């Protein structure tokens, strides 16, 4: 039976996207979670992966076509025509290889207890925390991805360390196994502190006990499918089910052989039909089981992440130390939208990136910053630092919190370069791959609450900067144009600024300049 390939659910403010690149052709075999196609929206590039292994049987939407949220893009079949036998042979070979790898790992676990140091190894090495940047004094061990005695490959992630800005990965120096963990999850560490002891070459085991222990190893690792009741649940789906406390039996699996996939769980969360009933709720570990009553209100307490704590501290500091005011204006986005509609296809072919709104706003802000240097300045104690360049930070929302990567020398950047930079920031932000150097040294910040549907907000300064621009949702409203009422696509703009540095007159004129440049984009080219 063919499986549908659907576009992801777009955010509220994103109505449609464009099919960027198909990475597979009809007849090509695909593996589960393998990238098939990319969809470009106004802000980010979304990746569509295979929900199960098979053969791409049909492509329904071609590259360059516009698609809506959850639209069917293509179909995956079980076979591939004439090459079916070859595909099956390849698949069987891959399965055999995977079984061999699982057997080796399970043998390793069968010979040792988790709390014991691995046997039969060689040289022991210290596993150290990475060297932190100058501005980062310490970090927190967020998680250990491997247990003591567990076999690992070279460059495989052992632990994650969370700093004020980024998450740093600690990888295995060689093939081997963890012999000892010295720093537990949640503990604070300094630069190059010893986290664990690693034994090179350890972790190998006999293949005799693989068949007996493979299911147990699979369950412990959480890296493979698991039988839960009458359902087969994928690892990512299992994690989401635990987080949302869902009833597995109430979730319909769309994967191969009825497997419950991540997408199935997300759909169940959205629908709300798979929640466990109150009587079925389990008492927390270490507590006496209490009778569940109707109307019970559960609570969950988790420690605040280091990044979230830093964000909170900086926001409070900004409000307490700055003389912060906000001025508002509105801009008619009609001219920019018409320009995008006219040249979006040509722009995409020429630069291999979609023409969005942020490119226009960044270029308009760069021009306005040149005209009003106070807005581009920063306060350092009792000194004012004027910057002869424009490094504009773009606020990006991630699962761990808000981060602000910086576009360097935006005045000399082309709109295409801006769009490519923002797409790259968004992708790396979601993957947790932004480095500390990506988020330092900005002279001005742009935040876009409109992507989430915000119509109006008051952005908070990003110290030591003295101003921040807030973009909001494009909303059609009746406007008086040349004495007539017309429906126009309007956007509210907000400029929060430090009154210690910037006078109200300059703040208003700065915002008016951005408004004028956007309502007549030719001004950006002519610099008038």
Residues classed as catalytic: 499, 503
DSSP state of 412: G
CA 332, CA 122: separation in Å to the nearest integer?
Answer: 69
State the Cα angle at 102 between 96 and 103, rounded to 5°: 85
The H-assigned helical ranges of 121-261 are 210-221, 235-244
Q: Nearest CA to 398 among 438, 425, 421?
A: 425
CA distances from 372 to 121, 300, 375, 390, 503 (A): 65, 48, 6, 12, 11
Q: Nearest CA to 352 among 294, 293, 272, 423?
A: 423
Q: Nearest CA to 414 among 522, 525, 520, 528?
A: 525
Q: Is 53 helix (H, G, I), strand (E, B) or coil?
A: coil
Is the Cβ–Cβ distance between 400 and 140 less than 8 Å?
Answer: no
CA 354, CA 47: separation in Å to the nearest integer?
Answer: 15
Directed axis angle between helix 262-271 and helix 235-244, to 10°? Answer: 20
Residue 244 burial (CB count, 10 A): 15
Is the Cβ–Cβ distance between 238 and 222 less than 8 Å?
Answer: yes
Is the Cβ–Cβ distance between 312 and 499 less than 8 Å?
Answer: no
**Residue 193: φ, ψ to 5°:** -70, 145
Residues in the chain: 528
CA 339, CA 523: separation in Å to the nearest integer?
Answer: 13
Buried b / exposed e over 102-125, threshold 16 CB at 10 Å, is bbbbbbbbbbbeeeebbbebeeeb
CB neighbour list of residue 88: distance below 8 Å, 6 or more residues apart: none
């Amino acid at each position: 039976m063919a499986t549908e390939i659907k576009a992801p659910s777009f955010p509220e403010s994103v109505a449609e996207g464009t099919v960027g690149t198909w990475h597979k052709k009809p007849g090509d075999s695909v593996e589960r979670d393998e990238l098939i196609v990319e969809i470009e929206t106004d802000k980010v590039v979304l990746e569509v992966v295979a929900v199960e292994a098979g053969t791409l049987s049909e492509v329904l939407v071609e590259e360059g076509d516009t698609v809506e949220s959850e639209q069917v893009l293509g179909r995956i079949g079980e076979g591939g025509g004439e090459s079916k036998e070859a595909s099956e042979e390849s698949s069987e070979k891959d399965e055999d290889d995977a079984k061999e790898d699982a057997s080796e790992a399970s043998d390793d676990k069968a010979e040792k207890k988790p709390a014991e140091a691995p046997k039969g190894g060689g040289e022991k090495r210290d596993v150290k925390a990475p060297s932190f940047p100058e501005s980062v004094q310490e970090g927190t061990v967020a998680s250990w991805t491997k247990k003591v005695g567990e076999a690992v490959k070279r460059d495989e992630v052992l632990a994650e360390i969370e700093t004020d800005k980024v998450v740093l990965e600690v990888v295995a120096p060689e093939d081997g196994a963890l012999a000892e963990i010295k720093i537990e999850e949640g503990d604070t560490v300094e630069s190059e502190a010893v986290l664990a002891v690693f034994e090179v070459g350890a972790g190998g085991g006999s293949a005799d006990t693989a068949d007996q222990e493979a299911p147990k190893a699979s369950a412990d690792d959480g890296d493979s499918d698991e039988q839960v009741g009458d359902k087969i649940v994928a690892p990512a789906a299992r994690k989401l089910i635990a987080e949302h406390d869902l009833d597995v039996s109430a979730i319909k699996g769309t994967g191969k052989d009825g497997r419950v996939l991540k997408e199935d769980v997300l759909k169940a969360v959205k629908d709300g039909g798979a929640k466990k009933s109150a009587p079925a709720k389990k008492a927390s570990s270490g507590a006496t089981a209490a009778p569940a009553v109707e109307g019970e209100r559960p609570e969950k307490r988790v420690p605040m992440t280091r990044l979230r704590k830093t964000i909170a501290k900086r926001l409070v500091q900004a409000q307490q130390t700055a003389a912060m005011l906000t001025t508002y204006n509105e801009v008619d986005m009609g001219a920019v939208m018409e320009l995008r509609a006219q040249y979006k296809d040509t722009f995409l072919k020429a630069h291999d990136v979609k023409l969005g709104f942020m490119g226009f706003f960044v270029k308009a802000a760069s021009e306005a910053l040149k005209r009003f240097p106070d807005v581009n300045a920063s306060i350092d104690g009792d000194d004012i630092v004027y910057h002869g360049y424009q490094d504009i930070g773009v606020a990006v929302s991630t699962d761990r919190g808000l981060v602000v990567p910086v576009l360097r020398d935006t005045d000399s950047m082309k709109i295409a370069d801006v769009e490519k930079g923002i797409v790259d920031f968004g992708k790396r932000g979601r993957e947790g791959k932004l480095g500390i150097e990506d988020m330092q040294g900005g002279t001005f910040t742009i935040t876009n609450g409109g992507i989430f549907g915000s119509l109006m907000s008051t952005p908070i300064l990003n110290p030591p900067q003295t101003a921040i621009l807030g973009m909001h949702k494009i909303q059609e409203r009746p406007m008086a144009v040349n004495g007539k009422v017309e429906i126009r696509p309007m956007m509210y703009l907000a400029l929060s600024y430090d009154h210690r540095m910037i006078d109200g007159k300059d703040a208003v004129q700065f915002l008016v300049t951005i408004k004028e440049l956007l309502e007549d984009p030719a001004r950006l080219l002519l610099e008038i």
